[in-house]
Amino acid sequence: MQRVFKAFFLLTALSLTVQSAWADKYSDALDSFQKAGESAEFFGKAYGYALFPSIGKAGMGIGGAHGEGQVYRGGKQVGTSKMTQITVGFQLGGQVYSQIIFFEDERAFTEFTSGNFEFGAQATAVAITAGASAQTTTGGGTSGGVSGGTKNAETASAGFHKGMAIFTIAKGGLMYEATLGGQKFSYTPL
C-alpha cells in the first residue's frame, strides 16, 4: 500500500515538473486538441468545455489521478476545476495525459459547474494520438461518453453522449488497468 502512494506522489511530482516547464500549458493543450482528430469539430458546436493540460495518474492495485484545469464558455474562461480519481482493480504503472470535456448545451455545462460533478465507473473517452484522427462512438472501447455519476444527462446526440464528449491525449508513461472508479470534479467560478 505504501508503495502505491509513493508511486502516486512521484507521478504527481513528475506531472507538476512537466507543467511548470511549459510556457503556456493551456495554450499548448488547446492547440493539440484543436489539431488532433475528431475533437476539433467540437469547438464549433459545444456550448463550453473544460480543459485539463496535465493529469497525472498512477496505480498498483489501488491508484489515483489528479489534475487542474480551466472551464470555458463561449471561448472565454469562466472558472477553474480540479479533478481527482481513486481507482481499485488490476492496474500497474503511471501516465500523464491531457483531457478535454465538451458540454453540448447550457444544461450539461450547468451540471458540471454545479461544484460537485462525477463521472461513473463506466465513463470512457476517445484517446487521441496527436495529429491522428479518432472515432467517437457510444459503444465500448474508445468511446466518447459518460455514464453514472451523481449528476448527468440522459440522452445522446450529435457526437455527444449524455450531453458531453471527452477526449484525451497521452503525454507520457505506461499504464495497464482494468479498474473501477470515477473522476470527481470541483468547480470554482472566476
Give residue-wise pLDDT tens across range 27-59: 999 999 998 777 888 998 999 999 999 999 998
Report whether pLDDT(24) > 70.
Answer: yes
Other CB atoms closer than 10 Å to residue 175's CB: what's the count? 19
User: How many domains are there within the chain?
Assistant: 1
Task: Please give the residue range of the domain that contains residue 44.
Answer: 2-189
pLDDT at 172: 82
- Which helix (H) or strand (E) segment holds residue 157: the answer is strand 156-157
> At a CB cut-off of 8 Å and minimum separation 6, what does 139 contact?
none
Instruction: Name the more confident of 5 and 86.
Output: 86
Give residue-wise pLDDT tens across range 97-118: 999 999 999 999 999 999 788 8
CA 58 – CA 7 distance, rounded (Å) = 6
pLDDT at 178: 60
pTM of the model: 0.72
- The cell 449528476 sits on which residue? 151
